[in-house]
Amino acid sequence: GASALSPVMQPVVGGMTMKGMHPLITTIGRSDEACTRLLLEFGADPSGNAMMKPLLLAVQTVVPPPNATAVYHSVASSPIDDDDDARRAAAYNNCEALLDAGADVDAVETLVGATVATFCAYGGLDEILASLIRRDADLEKASVKGIRPLVAATDFASDFAWAAGPRRATDGTVALLIRSGAKLEPADLAEAEAETKTRCLPETRLRAHRKRALADLVRYVRRDRAGGAG
């Protein structure tokens, strides 16, 4: 039967708190893992709505979105803001709870159209990214400017910055995406690079940031895949 908590929890599980904020959004913004799981247990919708998606918010407590609004800052206010490791651990646990409850693995942020996997790649959230990949996340779903996870992971310098917060992608993030089959020379990026003479493709981005070993790996794997396809 239903828990004794059920009559108390049900009115706010899918509705609004006194401040007009979906309670699941509030608990995730505060990195409150226990309350997140409790709300999901009592039927909270893990998908959120068009404006605020719980899975994205969980990641954005570590990797803030570009042009973060006052609403975002009011929501993503956690007691552990100064503890990066704790925020990352809470983000992972909240993401796992949401994904287990059926959250959209390819949730898209509305401002720039970037997926949750792209935010994870940019911020070096490799554990969450790996979890998304295991659940068949689309690694080629691009933002309005063509940014997809592998491109975001090669964003090692501020001249490419598109999101707020510290850039934490590592060589391991890039390697994870390559191993997981991310496209190394998407047609739209190859065309953009040829037309604009700017660094758009993963390999040229990596070479620009003196990541020679990774750039050579991209070239080797790209040629190997082409040979296999032939």
* Average pLDDT value over all residues in the chain: 81
pLDDT digits (tens, 9 = 90+) for 147-204: 899 999 987 654 444 555 555 788 999 999 999 999 999 999 999 999 999 999 999 9
pLDDT of residue 166: 57
The amino acid occupying position 205 is R
The whole-model pTM stands at: 0.83
User: Is residue 219 within 8 Å of 203, Cβ to Cβ?
Assistant: yes
Please count the other Cβ atoms lying within 10 Å of the Cβ belonging to residue 89.
16
The amino acid occupying position 28 is I
Q: Which of 220, 205, 195 is nearest to 162 (CA)?
A: 205
Cα–Cα distance for residue pair 152/121, rounded to 1 Å: 6
Cα–Cα distance for residue pair 24/28, rounded to 1 Å: 6
Cα–Cα distance for residue pair 54/56, rounded to 1 Å: 5
pLDDT digits (tens, 9 = 90+) for 84-126: 788 899 999 999 999 999 999 999 988 788 999 999 999 899 9
